[in-house]
Amino acid sequence: NNNLPLVISTWNHGMPANEAAWEILAKGGHSLDAVEAGVRVPEADENVITVGKGGIPDASGKVTLDACIMDEKGRAGSVTYLQHIVHPISVARLVMEKTPHVMLSGKGALEFALDNGFKKEKLLTKKRKEEWKKWKKEYEEFSVKINIENVTEDNHDTIGMLAIDKDGRVSGACTTSGMGYKMPGRVGDSPIIGAGLFVDGEVGGATATGSGELVMKTVGSFLVVELMCQGMTPGKACEEAVKRIAKKIPNYQNHQIGYIALNTKGEYGSFCIQPGFNYAIKTPEITELVDAEAWLK
């Protein structure tokens, strides 16, 4: 297949992330190594404010990270509510490879990471701390409720990445600091296998960004892959999963969700609720940022 290898990932920061993944894919490497290397780029980038270091904290000022990873054999690993570690995706991979479990959370996940040589670091940057203080003051003064219906560009740039290597192996990774100023303890869709990410090595993969609550309630990424399994193209499957949200969830108009998907033939597609979601794609012939089609015009 001339279209392989291929890597696709969410938002603008997908471009540099794809380049890191490509270094591995171009050498004939495994898609699992590619997606891990790819999403580590925004995790380490302080300017990407909803992934890894430099992420927006929760309402109490803590940066808590969610991530998961899955390969073509159906293996999966995940961490939720992980603090102090810059690369949750690599911890998720170790959960997959070194433990009998799929998901480790909070303190246990942190202990597991430290036992495996990860270093404790400060994830809350000065800038994010200042912004959080300002937010907190307003929040307390006006006793505003935490509202998950605040769709802003800044609140929605989880990275989800899918890759298929030249041997046709599909893997995916998803990593985020989650919704900004979320309630302490809140976990989103991103580390949940089937919600924020799903891979079926015989079919393809899908990943999600946006209001995690809506994705969880519709098991979005699993749905996209299952629809591809029934014969839909990646783009159609993403559209159908967005339609499902539109049908089932009141106020979905006040949210953004973006899905991206690829299949084992190397076809890919995307769909979102509102205009404004984009994804980065790289193949032997294409390196570009694409605006996704939206349900609301």
Alpha-carbon distance 164 to 71, whole Å? 10
Contacts for 241-250: CB closer than 8 Å, 24+ residues apart: 241/206, 241/271, 242/271, 242/272, 242/273, 242/295, 243/295, 244/218, 245/214, 245/215, 245/218, 245/220, 245/273, 246/273, 246/295, 248/217, 248/218, 249/214, 249/217, 249/218
Alpha-carbon distance 110 to 123, whole Å? 13
Total residues interacting with ligand SD4, rule: CB under 6 A? 14
Alpha-carbon distance 273 to 133, whole Å? 31
* Residue 158 touching ligand SD4 (CB under 6 A): yes
CB 175 within 8 A of CB 52: yes
Candidates 190, 264, 274, 283; binder of ligand SD4 (CB under 6 A) is: 190
Least CB distance from residue 182 to ligand SD4, whole Å?
7
Candidates 37, 94, 161, 179; binder of ligand SD4 (CB under 6 A) is: 179
Distances (CA, A) of 206 to 68, 105, 168, 175, 294: 13, 23, 16, 14, 17
176 is catalytic: no
Token pair of 218 as six digits: 């519709």
Half-sphere exposure of 141 (CA within 13 A, CB side): 6
Among residues 10, 64, 80, 158, the one annotated as catalytic is 158
Which range of residues in 17-25, 182-190, 267-275, 281-289 is near ligand SD4 by CB under 6 A? Answer: 182-190
Stretch (H or E) spanning 295: none
Which range of residues in 150-158, 263-271, 278-286, 288-296 is near ligand SD4 by CB under 6 A? Answer: 150-158
Candidates 54, 55, 178, 194; binder of ligand SD4 (CB under 6 A) is: 178
Cβ neighbours, 10 Å, residue 115: 10
Q: Which residue, 212 or 269, is less far from ligand SD4 as judged by CB?
A: 212
Least CB distance from residue 14 to ligand SD4, whole Å?
12
Alpha-carbon distance 117 to 101, whole Å? 19
Q: Which residue, 110 or 174, is less far from ligand SD4 as judged by CB?
A: 174
Q: What mask, x for binding ligand SD4 by CB under 6 A, covers residues 1 to 20?
A: --------------------
Candidates 87, 156, 255, 282; binder of ligand SD4 (CB under 6 A) is: 156
Q: Which residue, 25 or 41, is less far from ligand SD4 as judged by CB?
A: 41
* Residue 188 touching ligand SD4 (CB under 6 A): yes
Quick one: which of 264, 289, 259, 288 has its CA closest to 274? 259
Least CB distance from residue 208 to ligand SD4, whole Å?
6
Q: What mask, x for binding ligand SD4 by CB under 6 A, covers residues 198 to 237?
A: -----------xxxx-------------------------
Alpha-carbon distance 11 to 277, whole Å? 7
* Residue 176 touching ligand SD4 (CB under 6 A): yes
* Residue 52 touching ligand SD4 (CB under 6 A): no
Q: Which residue, 25 or 159, is less far from ligand SD4 as judged by CB?
A: 159
Q: Which residue, 209 or 283, is less far from ligand SD4 as judged by CB?
A: 209
Alpha-carbon distance 110 to 224, whole Å? 31
What does the binding site for ligand SD4 look like in residue numbers (CB under 6 A)?
50, 156-158, 176, 178-179, 188-190, 209-212
Which residues participate in catalysis according to the annotation? 158
